[in-house]
Amino acid sequence: MPPAGGRGPGMARFLSEEELENQPKVTPALLKRIFSYLWVYRFRFMLVLLCIVVSSFFTLLPSILTGKILDEGLLKKDLTALVNYILLSLLVTFLANLIGMVESYFNTWIAQHITYDMRNHMYGHLQEMSQSFFTTNNQGDIITRMTSDIDGVQSTITNTFSSILSNSVTLIIAMIAMFRKNWILALIGIVVVPLFTLPTRKAGKTRWSLTKESQECNDEINGILNETLSVSGQLLVKLFGKEKTEYERYEKVNHRMIDLNIKERMAGRWFFVVLTTFTSIGPMLIYLVGGILMIRHGSDLTVGDVTVMVALLGKMYMPINSLLNIKVDWVRSMALFTRIFDYFDIPVEIKNAPDAVIPEKVTGDVRFENVGFAYEEGHPILKNISFELKAGNSVAIVGPSGSGKSTIINLIPRLYDVGSGSVRFDGVDVRKLDLGFLRSRIGVVSQETYLFNGTIRDNLLYAKPDATQEEMIEALKKANIYEFVEKQEKGLDTMVGNRGLKLSGGEKQRISIARILLKNPTIFVFDEATSALDSISEQKIQEAIDPIINSHTSILIAHRLSTILAADEILVVKDGAIVERGQHKELVKQGGVYAELYETQFSKALEDDDGISELEEYIWGTQPADEPGE
């Protein structure tokens, strides 16, 4: 943010060094692109232009009428003319303001609609961005683009553009009127303009840099306070006996602050002295030269004419000052548009292929063929992953944290696209399938369960907007959470999400399982929570998941032995490659990565489990559940 120095009426404003360095390149293409947003509302814009011209003219007219009031009314002692000109002057002022109001209405209307268009465009575009966009960009930045950057566009249109227009028109009309009255006086008027603007800018610049400095000083003071008046900071100060040193440090900056404040205040005063002096030099010069022309040279200038010139000159100061400052607004506006357009130009990475298909029959086979993938170039995460999951079967993916398990499953609904090889759904490359169809066939229960702010019902309807009450209750029952929901005073209408009922991780997970059940996908994906759930929660989730695994095609990222055992095949992933695959018993016997994981993780889980003996028997083969008689 540039320092807020030098704002206010008549005050010169400047760009910060950072802004000067990063000035956007204003190309015809950029201007054309900005203009294309305006073009949609061109007729209203023409109306705004017309209003600006007329109201600028009407604003200047009373100054011109002052001459008539003096010459025709007062000096000629003509009461009728005097009253008429006064009434006309009042009427014109009223009309100028009325037209100004119409102008401001249409101006605001256009600005609001352009903002509306841009917001929709941006939101739609962001929705199309791949998951990697959201993981690599800071959420705060994304929201800033959506909110304050686009809000800035609105003020650019209502303030910057219209200020350039109306100030230029006012200046041109005033200048024409002055030259028509008397070119000598008009020239004098123009000559004094730099006299007025240069010192203003100089004073403004001084004040601006003082403000900047005092802001830095203020930051330093806050830093010291935060550092030394915190609990741990104080402890450090006391234990090292640094009270005096810290006091001196604080006192020094504090002193600098008051110096700066006094200087800044005085720079402001100095500015007003300069401003008022120079603004009165112009009129005085016009009176003087006008007087000389009238008295000595017999010019036909009237008292009214000279007064008009002075009045018109007075009307020129504000527009000139605004236009001199316009560069600041202009650069900021262009930077704003450039930032917004940069976002618009981020290509949509994952989109429907032009020849995308929606298969008529869905089986639910998933096949990975030599899949390679990297989030960032040069850092391969998955290497040559191949496996097949037949419809109706289940596969458990196990491996150390960071080995690429979640990445594998992210490739199925195309949250990311493979780098090499292919992921096939029913034999078709997922990149060739209609994206909406593909995602509708895959239900993911992830570790970080996200429930929207709203009721439990809202969250369930998100998956199936036309779900009936019975369907919802059935899904909740299957997800082992209905009892809990039923107990809530408002039942399905209980608010959840971060503004509602605080749910435990396990409860959230089970509601999200109900949501997936309503979605009714072909393939279920469970990214099992590693976070410590209490054993009752775990058991409840397990009871919900088990029947799903048994009856649907499913992929499980498993950390619990019971889940692993429920799968038809186990894939062991390490450093992005499948290093072992097979059944539990064989893998334990192999004494490889799986056996090690089993030793360190799963057997521990087993000890915590209530059903130890059954599992023990199964694992060690004394009485294998699926191979009786062995």
Residues at the interface with ligand ADP (CB under 6 A): 132, 135, 375, 381, 399, 401-407
| Distance separating alpha carbons of residues 195 and 188, to the nearest angstrom | 11
| Distance separating alpha carbons of residues 515 and 511, to the nearest angstrom | 6
3-state secondary structure at position 496: strand
Q: How far is the CB of 382 from ligand ADP (least distance, A)?
A: 8
Q: How far is the CB of 376 from ligand ADP (least distance, A)?
A: 6
Q: How far is the CB of 410 from ligand ADP (least distance, A)?
A: 7
**Residue 492 gets which letter from DSSP?**
G
Cβ distance to ligand ADP smaller for residue 376 or 466: 376
Task: Centre a 10 Å sphere on the Cβ of residue 231 and count the other Cβ atoms it contains.
Answer: 6
Cβ distance to ligand ADP smaller for residue 37 or 594: 594
Cβ distance to ligand ADP smaller for residue 78 or 575: 575
Please identify which residue in the block is written with the tokens 């959420």.
139
Cβ distance to ligand ADP smaller for residue 14 or 598: 598
Q: How far is the CB of 132 from ligand ADP (least distance, A)?
A: 6
- Nearest Cα residue to 387 out of 421, 350, 338: 421
Cβ distance to ligand ADP smaller for residue 442 or 517: 442
| Distance separating alpha carbons of residues 123 and 153, to the nearest angstrom | 16
According to DSSP, the residues that pair with 581 across neighbouring strands are 571
Cβ distance to ligand ADP smaller for residue 50 or 346: 346
Q: How far is the CB of 483 from ligand ADP (least distance, A)?
A: 32
- Residue count of the chain, please give it: 630
Distances (CA, A) of 261 to 200, 207, 214, 267, 270: 20, 10, 7, 10, 14
Cβ distance to ligand ADP smaller for residue 402 or 611: 402
DSSP assignment of 345-392 equals TS---S---TT-B--SS----EEEEEEEEESSTT-EEEEEEEEEE-TT
Cβ distance to ligand ADP smaller for residue 135 or 550: 135
Distance of CA 458 to the CA centre of its chain: 26
Q: How far is the CB of 442 from ligand ADP (least distance, A)?
A: 17
| Distance separating alpha carbons of residues 151 and 142, to the nearest angstrom | 14
**Residue 519, CB-side half-sphere exposure with 13 Å CA sphere:** 23
Q: How far is the CB of 392 from ligand ADP (least distance, A)?
A: 25
Cβ distance to ligand ADP smaller for residue 178 or 571: 571
Distance of CA 407 to the CA centre of its chain: 27
Q: How far is the CB of 581 from ligand ADP (least distance, A)?
A: 16
8 A C-beta contact, residue 363 and residue 391: yes
Q: How far is the CB of 384 from ligand ADP (least distance, A)?
A: 15
Paired tokens of 299: 């010019």
Q: How far is the CB of 19 from ligand ADP (least distance, A)?
A: 32
8 A C-beta contact, residue 355 and residue 435: no
DSSP assignment of 181-250 equals H-HHHHHHHHHHHHHHHHHHHHHHHHHHHHHHHHHHHHHHHHHHHHHHSSHHHHHHHHHTT-HHHHHHHH
**C-beta contacts of 79-87 below 8 A and 24+ residues apart:** none
Q: How far is the CB of 436 from ligand ADP (least distance, A)?
A: 23
Q: How far is the CB of 573 from ligand ADP (least distance, A)?
A: 7
Cβ distance to ligand ADP smaller for residue 130 or 206: 130
Cβ distance to ligand ADP smaller for residue 137 or 215: 137
Q: Measured at the alpha carbon of residue 181, what is the angle toward residues 178 and 182, in degrees to the nearest 5?
A: 85
Cβ distance to ligand ADP smaller for residue 399 or 443: 399
* Rg from Cα positions in the chain: 38
3-state secondary structure at position 447: coil
